[in-house]
Amino acid sequence: MREQELLAFIGQRLTEARFQHSRRVAETARFLARTWGLDEDKCYQAGLLHDIARDLSPEELLKQAASCGIVWDEIEGHFPVLLHGPVGAEILRRELAVTDEEILEAIRLHTTGDYPLSPTAKVIFLADYIEPGRDFSGAQKAREAARRSLDAGVAVAVGEIIAYLTGQRYAVHPKAVNLYNHYVLNGFFGAG
């Protein structure tokens, strides 16, 4: 896919702020891919496309999920914004003929994470959290960890996200817990 086509595709569907966020995620994803020896073009494209369904209303997300055969769980029913990953992947499959399963997985899972995750999906999950527009302290911690390894960056990101959600007494999706537990059990937080 040519970059101009992708920019036109997302430009029609996103607000200006989300369009700029998507470009920063794409640039960050390309940088992470270069640093850690992954496919730069694939990660860049997935970054541009990751929020393709993010500006749909909750009602529209539920409607499109139903028409795509996506089955949502109780948490997604309460917070349909979580469906912008799975619905976005289906939009890309149907309207842009994206067939690369790693790109589709990266988009499907970028909001929650999960375990296991492909390298491309790790890059997009992390890039979404640390792109230069993110100025909270968790993003800075994840940026520093990402210099050690991609997994170190993802581990800190998911740990910070879950700490934030529980601190606010928000629900935590089980897929995010899967990813977090994987890193805890593999010693990414020092013990385990």
Is 51 a binding residue for Fe ion by CB under 5 A? The answer is: yes
In the bound complex, what is the minimum distance in angstroms from residue 50's beta carbon to Fe ion?
6
d(CA 154, CA 38) in angstroms, rounded, equals: 15
User: How many residues bind to Fe ion according to rule CB under 5 A?
Assistant: 3
54 vs 175 by CB, closer to Fe ion: 54
In the bound complex, what is the minimum distance in angstroms from residue 116's beta carbon to Fe ion?
20
Is 128 a binding residue for Fe ion by CB under 5 A? The answer is: yes
Amino acid identity of 86?
P
d(CA 30, CA 60) in angstroms, rounded, equals: 31
Which residue carries 């399963």 as its tokens?
Answer: 101
Two structure tokens written together for 110: 């970028």
Is 131 a binding residue for Fe ion by CB under 5 A? The answer is: no
Contact range with Fe ion by CB under 5 A, out of 94-102, 127-135, 137-145, 154-162: 127-135
- Give the x/- contact pattern for Fe ion in 74-113, rule: CB under 5 A: ----------------------------------------
d(CA 160, CA 44) in angstroms, rounded, equals: 24
Helices (H), ranges, 96-149: 101-109, 119-130, 137-146
Q: Which residues bind Fe ion (CB under 5 A)?
A: 51, 54, 128
